[in-house]
Structure 1
Amino acid sequence: MKTSFWVIFLLCFIFTSCESNLKDVQNIYKTTFVPSGEADSINLKYTDSGRVKTKLQSLKMLDYSTAKNPFVEFPKGVLVTLYDQNNRTTTIHSDKAYSYKRTQIIDLQGNVRIVSHDGKVLQTNQLYFDQKNEWFFTEDFFKFIDNNGSYVEGKGIDFSKDFKIFNMQNNRGEINNID
């Protein structure tokens, strides 16, 4: 009787100690995803030939340049101001943003709002910007309002950076004051 008690006790001890070691071994193989760089309250200006072309402001920037697919995250949102040849501005705001280095795609998320120098406004929940082609696109619901109160809304849109070329999938709207 004593021998079977000690065998059962020994087996219970082995199994409980193995469980702890198994968890430790599993934790070894977990990867930690941490930024390689971090900045607070950034105000970045891009200039070309002595002229400011773009200004980016954010409360927080996390740089994941050492990740397999490198990217920069702006978890507290961005405010981007674009300047044209005549120094007129277009502003872009979102609650969160990601900039992917390899694809040169920027993913704007949450309350995305673009306001052009002439009063045109585009609102959506998520918007992508292809930096190479200077092209915006989304499959989400959007609303575009021009400076005289006309609007178009729907699901799915892509357009040029200067708001001159639009492609819409499903939309409806109201047009006022046709010239």
Structure 2
Amino acid sequence: MKKKGLYYFRSIAIVITMAMLFYSCADSYKRVGDEAIKKIFPSAVAEDFTLTYTETDELEKNEGVVSAHVIAVLTSPISNDFDNLAFPHRTFPDGLMVEFFDEKGEKSTVTADYGIIYSSTNLIDLQGNVVIETSDGKKLEAPQLYWDRTNDWIFTQEKFKYTNPEEGTIMDGEGMDFNRDFSFFNANKTYGYMSIKEKKIEE
């Protein structure tokens, strides 16, 4: 009887010890996990943010005359500045709009639900309902686009819809790259064209 009681006592002691050990490990893991997650805060937050991109004419610059013209204006309700990090960037959590101006001063617009500017690479990542509309009526819609500011090039690997009123067509595809004014447009994969021109009815 004594041996049986001692056996039960040892079993209970082992169970309690294991439970304490498990609880201790779980608590320690939780605390270490919380400490490992570093909360990142922006160094600055700007409301009604506006960023203007200008370009200097090289010929006038060589002649000693310095003048610049606006090539793009970026506006957003709010901007978070993370330029203090190892990989500096700026985010636009409430969306943004970019207005492009060509040499004639004609305007094209880009809108998106979210955006990131990577300062070190001059790359803008546009996400969510991205729409580009040119001054001559061309329209591109995609879930995500990248704008390379250094080379003035736009590209994506996502699906897109391209409407060209000049040709009267709508093109669906996946993956493409093009320059800002759509004078060069390369689609990786297309699903077909659809004519949007209305035929005149002959009487």
TM range (shorter): 0.7 to 0.9
| Per-residue deviation, residues 105-147 of structure 1 (Å, max 9, x unmatched) | 2111111100111111111111111112211111111111112
Partner of 2:42 in structure 1? 35
Partner of 2:181 in structure 1? 162
Q: Which amino acid aligns with 1:38?
A: V
- Pairwise CA RMSD: 2.8
What residue ranges of structure 2 are gaps of 5+ in the alignment?
A: 1-14, 56-66, 198-203
Structure label with greater radius of gyration: 2
CA distance in 2, matches of 1:20, 1:170: 52
Say if 1:13 and 1:152 are closer, same or farther in 2 by CA, change over 3 A.
closer
Deviates more, 1:55-64 or 1:12-21: 12-21
CA distance in 2, matches of 1:139, 1:34: 30
CA distance in 1, matches of 2:130, 2:53: 22
Q: 3-state DSSP class of the match of 2:116?
A: strand
Deviates more, 1:108-117 or 1:42-51: 42-51
- 1:44 is the counterpart of 2:62: no
What residue ranges of structure 1 are gaps of 5+ in the alignment?
A: 1-7
Partner of 1:121 in structure 2? 139
Q: Which amino acid aligns with 1:158?
A: D
Deviates more, 1:145-154 or 1:42-51: 42-51
Q: Which amino acid aligns with 2:78?
A: K
- 1:109 is the counterpart of 2:127: yes
Tell me the matched-pair count: 176
Q: Which amino acid aligns with 1:44?
A: L
CA distance in 1, matches of 2:120, 2:68: 27
Identity of aligned residues (%): 34
The TM-score normalised by the length of structure 1 is 0.82
Partner of 1:174 in structure 2? 194
Going by fraction, where is helix more abundant, 1 or 2? 2
Going by fraction, where is strand more abundant, 1 or 2? 1
